[in-house]
Amino acid sequence: MRIGLFVPCYVDAFEPEVGIATLELLERFGLDVHYPYDQTCCGQPMTNTGCHAEAAATEALFVKNFAPFDYIVAPSGSCVHQVREHLTAIPQTDEVKAVRAKTYELVEFLHDVLQVAEFPWAEFPHKVGYHNNCNALRGIHHGRPSELNAPYYSKPLDLLAKVKGIEIVTASRPDECCGFGGTFSVFEPAVSAKMGYDKVADHSQAGAEYVVSADSSCMMHQKGCAARIGVPLKFIHIARILNGATA
Protein backbone atom coordinates (compact mmCIF):
# COMPACT_ATOMS: atom_id res chain seq x y z
CA MET A 1 0.00 0.00 0.00
CA ARG A 2 1.67 3.23 -1.16
CA ILE A 3 0.85 6.14 1.09
CA GLY A 4 1.42 9.76 0.17
CA LEU A 5 2.10 11.79 3.28
CA PHE A 6 0.69 15.30 3.17
CA VAL A 7 2.21 17.56 5.78
CA PRO A 8 0.10 20.72 5.91
CA CYS A 9 2.07 23.92 5.61
CA TYR A 10 1.62 25.10 9.21
CA VAL A 11 2.60 21.64 10.48
CA ASP A 12 5.62 21.79 8.25
CA ALA A 13 6.58 25.17 9.60
CA PHE A 14 5.52 25.12 13.22
CA GLU A 15 5.11 21.56 14.33
CA PRO A 16 7.52 19.43 12.28
CA GLU A 17 7.38 16.85 15.08
CA VAL A 18 3.75 16.19 14.14
CA GLY A 19 4.81 15.38 10.61
CA ILE A 20 7.59 13.16 11.92
CA ALA A 21 5.23 11.36 14.30
CA THR A 22 2.72 10.78 11.52
CA LEU A 23 5.41 9.37 9.26
CA GLU A 24 6.83 7.11 11.96
CA LEU A 25 3.43 5.96 13.12
CA LEU A 26 2.38 4.93 9.64
CA GLU A 27 5.68 3.15 9.15
CA ARG A 28 5.10 1.19 12.38
CA PHE A 29 2.23 -0.48 10.54
CA GLY A 30 4.55 -1.54 7.73
CA LEU A 31 3.22 0.96 5.21
CA ASP A 32 5.23 2.31 2.33
CA VAL A 33 5.06 6.02 3.08
CA HIS A 34 6.27 8.65 0.66
CA TYR A 35 6.59 12.39 1.13
CA PRO A 36 6.20 14.13 -2.23
CA TYR A 37 8.85 16.76 -1.97
CA ASP A 38 7.14 19.46 -4.01
CA GLN A 39 4.07 19.71 -1.81
CA THR A 40 2.91 23.05 -0.41
CA CYS A 41 -0.70 23.49 0.65
CA CYS A 42 -4.24 22.23 0.04
CA GLY A 43 -5.60 25.61 -1.06
CA GLN A 44 -7.81 26.17 1.96
CA PRO A 45 -6.68 29.73 2.87
CA MET A 46 -7.86 30.93 -0.54
CA THR A 47 -11.09 28.95 -0.92
CA ASN A 48 -12.22 29.74 2.61
CA THR A 49 -11.84 33.39 1.74
CA GLY A 50 -13.98 32.87 -1.34
CA CYS A 51 -11.01 33.15 -3.68
CA HIS A 52 -11.41 29.94 -5.65
CA ALA A 53 -9.73 31.15 -8.82
CA GLU A 54 -6.72 32.09 -6.73
CA ALA A 55 -6.64 28.55 -5.29
CA ALA A 56 -6.75 26.70 -8.61
CA ALA A 57 -3.01 26.43 -9.26
CA THR A 58 -2.35 25.28 -5.70
CA GLU A 59 -5.07 22.65 -5.97
CA ALA A 60 -3.64 21.44 -9.28
CA LEU A 61 -0.24 21.12 -7.67
CA PHE A 62 -1.74 19.08 -4.83
CA VAL A 63 -3.34 16.67 -7.28
CA LYS A 64 -0.15 16.39 -9.30
CA ASN A 65 1.85 15.55 -6.17
CA PHE A 66 -0.55 13.01 -4.76
CA ALA A 67 -2.18 11.30 -7.75
CA PRO A 68 0.26 8.32 -7.75
CA PHE A 69 -0.68 7.01 -4.29
CA ASP A 70 -3.21 4.48 -3.02
CA TYR A 71 -4.01 6.72 -0.07
CA ILE A 72 -3.09 10.23 0.90
CA VAL A 73 -2.85 10.73 4.65
CA ALA A 74 -2.55 14.02 6.50
CA PRO A 75 -2.49 14.88 10.22
CA SER A 76 -5.20 17.52 9.80
CA GLY A 77 -8.99 17.20 9.64
CA SER A 78 -9.29 20.70 8.32
CA CYS A 79 -7.01 20.21 5.30
CA VAL A 80 -8.55 16.84 4.49
CA HIS A 81 -11.99 18.44 4.60
CA GLN A 82 -10.78 21.04 2.12
CA VAL A 83 -9.48 18.36 -0.24
CA ARG A 84 -12.51 16.13 0.05
CA GLU A 85 -15.28 18.75 0.01
CA HIS A 86 -13.86 21.93 -1.48
CA LEU A 87 -11.09 21.12 -3.93
CA THR A 88 -13.28 22.28 -6.78
CA ALA A 89 -11.48 25.22 -8.36
CA ILE A 90 -10.01 22.97 -11.05
CA PRO A 91 -11.83 20.78 -13.58
CA GLN A 92 -13.05 17.61 -11.90
CA THR A 93 -11.21 15.00 -13.94
CA ASP A 94 -11.18 11.36 -12.87
CA GLU A 95 -7.72 11.93 -11.47
CA VAL A 96 -8.87 14.89 -9.36
CA LYS A 97 -11.90 13.02 -8.11
CA ALA A 98 -9.77 10.00 -7.22
CA VAL A 99 -7.28 12.08 -5.25
CA ARG A 100 -10.10 13.73 -3.33
CA ALA A 101 -11.74 10.42 -2.50
CA LYS A 102 -8.58 8.69 -1.28
CA THR A 103 -7.38 11.51 0.94
CA TYR A 104 -7.73 10.61 4.62
CA GLU A 105 -7.14 12.34 7.88
CA LEU A 106 -4.80 10.36 10.11
CA VAL A 107 -7.37 9.44 12.79
CA GLU A 108 -9.92 8.13 10.34
CA PHE A 109 -7.22 6.34 8.38
CA LEU A 110 -6.10 4.51 11.53
CA HIS A 111 -9.67 3.97 12.72
CA ASP A 112 -11.51 3.11 9.52
CA VAL A 113 -8.92 1.88 7.02
CA LEU A 114 -6.22 0.23 9.14
CA GLN A 115 -8.69 -0.51 11.96
CA VAL A 116 -5.85 -0.43 14.44
CA ALA A 117 -6.61 -2.55 17.49
CA GLU A 118 -3.78 -1.39 19.76
CA PHE A 119 -0.90 0.99 20.16
CA PRO A 120 1.32 -1.08 22.47
CA TRP A 121 4.04 1.59 22.45
CA ALA A 122 1.71 4.40 23.48
CA GLU A 123 1.46 5.63 27.05
CA PHE A 124 0.37 9.09 28.11
CA PRO A 125 -0.19 9.35 31.88
CA HIS A 126 -1.96 12.70 31.86
CA LYS A 127 -5.37 14.35 32.07
CA VAL A 128 -6.34 15.26 28.56
CA GLY A 129 -9.05 17.42 27.05
CA TYR A 130 -9.79 16.51 23.46
CA HIS A 131 -10.35 19.37 21.03
CA ASN A 132 -12.49 18.61 18.00
CA ASN A 133 -11.56 20.69 14.99
CA CYS A 134 -14.91 21.71 13.52
CA ASN A 135 -14.11 20.47 10.02
CA ALA A 136 -12.91 17.18 11.46
CA LEU A 137 -16.03 16.80 13.58
CA ARG A 138 -18.82 18.13 11.38
CA GLY A 139 -17.11 18.02 7.99
CA ILE A 140 -15.49 14.59 7.85
CA HIS A 141 -17.44 13.10 10.77
CA HIS A 142 -14.81 12.27 13.34
CA GLY A 143 -17.60 11.87 15.86
CA ARG A 144 -21.14 12.74 16.69
CA PRO A 145 -21.48 16.48 17.18
CA SER A 146 -23.27 17.56 20.36
CA GLU A 147 -26.19 19.01 18.37
CA LEU A 148 -27.39 15.78 16.80
CA ASN A 149 -29.77 13.29 18.37
CA ALA A 150 -27.85 10.28 17.08
CA PRO A 151 -25.79 7.48 18.60
CA TYR A 152 -22.59 8.72 20.16
CA TYR A 153 -19.24 7.88 18.65
CA SER A 154 -15.83 9.46 18.52
CA LYS A 155 -13.03 8.07 16.40
CA PRO A 156 -10.25 10.05 18.08
CA LEU A 157 -11.45 9.10 21.56
CA ASP A 158 -11.69 5.46 20.44
CA LEU A 159 -8.03 5.63 19.50
CA LEU A 160 -6.98 7.48 22.64
CA ALA A 161 -8.76 4.85 24.73
CA LYS A 162 -6.07 2.43 23.55
CA VAL A 163 -3.34 4.58 25.06
CA LYS A 164 -2.12 3.46 28.51
CA GLY A 165 -2.56 5.79 31.43
CA ILE A 166 -4.50 8.49 29.64
CA GLU A 167 -7.45 10.15 31.36
CA ILE A 168 -9.95 12.06 29.25
CA VAL A 169 -11.72 15.06 30.79
CA THR A 170 -14.65 16.76 29.10
CA ALA A 171 -15.12 20.50 28.76
CA SER A 172 -18.54 22.00 29.52
CA ARG A 173 -18.96 22.95 25.85
CA PRO A 174 -17.24 19.93 24.35
CA ASP A 175 -17.36 20.89 20.69
CA GLU A 176 -17.70 24.66 20.70
CA CYS A 177 -15.47 26.20 18.04
CA CYS A 178 -12.22 27.62 19.44
CA GLY A 179 -12.31 30.63 17.13
CA PHE A 180 -9.41 29.83 14.85
CA GLY A 181 -11.45 29.63 11.68
CA GLY A 182 -8.49 29.98 9.29
CA THR A 183 -8.31 33.50 7.96
CA PHE A 184 -11.08 34.42 10.42
CA SER A 185 -8.36 34.53 13.06
CA VAL A 186 -6.66 37.44 11.34
CA PHE A 187 -9.66 39.20 9.82
CA GLU A 188 -11.80 39.12 12.96
CA PRO A 189 -9.06 38.96 15.61
CA ALA A 190 -11.02 40.20 18.64
CA VAL A 191 -13.83 37.64 18.45
CA SER A 192 -11.37 34.93 17.43
CA ALA A 193 -9.17 35.56 20.46
CA LYS A 194 -12.13 35.77 22.83
CA MET A 195 -13.39 32.42 21.60
CA GLY A 196 -9.93 31.04 22.19
CA TYR A 197 -9.76 32.43 25.74
CA ASP A 198 -13.12 30.88 26.57
CA LYS A 199 -12.05 27.58 25.03
CA VAL A 200 -8.82 27.22 26.96
CA ALA A 201 -10.54 28.33 30.17
CA ASP A 202 -13.14 25.61 29.62
CA HIS A 203 -10.45 22.94 29.09
CA SER A 204 -8.65 24.14 32.16
CA GLN A 205 -11.76 24.14 34.33
CA ALA A 206 -12.43 20.56 33.27
CA GLY A 207 -9.06 19.69 34.77
CA ALA A 208 -7.07 19.16 31.58
CA GLU A 209 -3.27 19.27 31.70
CA TYR A 210 -3.04 18.76 27.98
CA VAL A 211 -5.24 19.67 25.07
CA VAL A 212 -5.05 17.06 22.34
CA SER A 213 -6.33 17.47 18.82
CA ALA A 214 -5.99 16.12 15.32
CA ASP A 215 -5.44 19.66 14.09
CA SER A 216 -2.40 21.75 14.84
CA SER A 217 -4.01 24.93 13.55
CA CYS A 218 -6.63 25.12 16.31
CA MET A 219 -3.99 24.27 18.89
CA MET A 220 -1.60 26.92 17.62
CA HIS A 221 -4.37 29.45 18.13
CA GLN A 222 -5.38 28.07 21.53
CA LYS A 223 -1.79 27.92 22.66
CA GLY A 224 -1.35 31.58 21.78
CA CYS A 225 -4.55 32.43 23.65
CA ALA A 226 -3.63 30.38 26.72
CA ALA A 227 -0.22 32.00 26.88
CA ARG A 228 -1.73 35.46 26.60
CA ILE A 229 -4.16 35.05 29.48
CA GLY A 230 -1.96 32.78 31.57
CA VAL A 231 -3.84 29.49 31.43
CA PRO A 232 -1.30 26.73 32.16
CA LEU A 233 -2.25 24.23 29.47
CA LYS A 234 0.02 22.12 27.30
CA PHE A 235 -0.87 21.15 23.74
CA ILE A 236 0.00 18.04 21.81
CA HIS A 237 -1.14 16.55 18.52
CA ILE A 238 -2.84 13.15 18.65
CA ALA A 239 -0.29 11.75 16.18
CA ARG A 240 2.46 12.22 18.73
CA ILE A 241 0.57 10.48 21.52
CA LEU A 242 -0.34 7.57 19.30
CA ASN A 243 3.29 7.35 18.22
CA GLY A 244 4.41 7.00 21.82
CA ALA A 245 5.19 10.50 23.07
CA THR A 246 4.82 10.59 26.84
CA ALA A 247 4.79 14.35 27.36
Partner 1 sequence: MTNADQSGLREPAAESDRGQDGRPLQHAEAATQPVAVKAPREAQPRGAKIRGDRPIDQAEAAERFLAAPLHQKAHDARLWDLRSKRDTAAFGIPEWEELRELASQIKTHTLANLDRYLLEFEANAKANGVHVHWAADGADHNRIVHGILKDHGAKTLIKSKSMLTEECGFRHYMAGTGIEVIETDLGERIQQLDNEEPSHVVVPAVHKTRLDVAEVFAKTMGTDPENDDVHYLAESQRMHTRPLILNADAGMTGCNFAIAETGTVVTCTNEGNADLSGNVPKLQIHSIGIEKLIPKIEHLGVFIRLLSRSALGSPITQYTSHFRAPRDGTEMHMVLVDNGRSERLGMEEFWTSLKCIRCGACMNTCPVYRRSGGLSYGATYSGPIGLIIDPTFNKRKYSTLPFSSTMNGSCTNVCPVKINIHEQIFAWRKVLAEEHQIPLLKQGMMKAAGQVLSRPATYRAAIGAADSALKVLPRFAVYNPLNTWGKGREMPDSPRQTFHSWYKQNRMKKDGAR
By CB under 8 A, what part of segment 118-177 binds partner 1?
A: 134-135, 137-139, 145-150, 173, 175-177
89-108 binders of partner 1 (CB under 8 A): none
Return the number of the residue (50 or 165) whose C-beta is nearest partner 1: 50
Return the number of the residue (14 or 244) whose C-beta is nearest partner 1: 14
CB atoms inside a 10 Å sphere around CB 149: 5
Return the number of the residue (97 or 228) whose C-beta is nearest partner 1: 228
166-225 binders of partner 1 (CB under 8 A): 173, 175-177, 179-198, 220-221, 223-225
Could you tell me the sign of the dihedral formed by the alpha carbons of 84, 85, 90, 94, in that order? positive
- The amino acid that residue 209 corresponds to is E
Q: Quote the least distance from Cβ 116 to partner 1, whole Å.
A: 23
User: x/- string (CB under 8 A) for partner 1, residues 51-90?
Assistant: xxxxxxxx-xx------------------------x----
Among 3, 4, 11, 102, the residue binding partner 1 under the rule CB under 8 A is 11
Among 1, 2, 13, 29, the residue binding partner 1 under the rule CB under 8 A is 13
Among 2, 97, 164, 228, the residue binding partner 1 under the rule CB under 8 A is 228
- The amino acid that residue 10 corresponds to is Y
Q: Quote the least distance from Cβ 188 to partner 1, whole Å.
A: 5
Interface with partner 1 includes 232 (CB under 8 A)?
A: no
> Quick one: how many helices (H) and strands (E) in the chain?
13, 8
Q: Quote the least distance from Cβ 199 to partner 1, whole Å.
A: 9
Could you tell me what percentage of the chain is helix, strand and coil, using 3-state DSSP and rounding each to the nearest 5? 45, 15, 40
Q: Give the C-alpha separation, 105 to 183, whole Å.
A: 21
Among 16, 68, 125, 207, the residue binding partner 1 under the rule CB under 8 A is 16
State how far the alpha carbon of 24 is from the alpha carbons of 16, 19, 34, 44, 244, in Å. Answer: 12, 9, 11, 26, 10
Beta bridge partners of 236: 212
Q: Quote the least distance from Cβ 35 to partner 1, whole Å.
A: 5
Angle at 191 between CA 189 and CA 197, to 5 degrees: 100
Among 41, 99, 163, 242, the residue binding partner 1 under the rule CB under 8 A is 41
Residue 163 main-chain phi, psi, to 5 deg: -95, 130
Q: Quote the least distance from Cβ 117 to partner 1, whole Å.
A: 28
Q: Quote the least distance from Cβ 115 to partner 1, whole Å.
A: 27
Q: Quote the least distance from Cβ 198 to partner 1, whole Å.
A: 8
Q: Give the C-alpha separation, 46 to 63, whole Å.
A: 16
**Which runs of E-coded beta strand occur in 31-163?**
32-34, 71-74, 103-105, 127-131
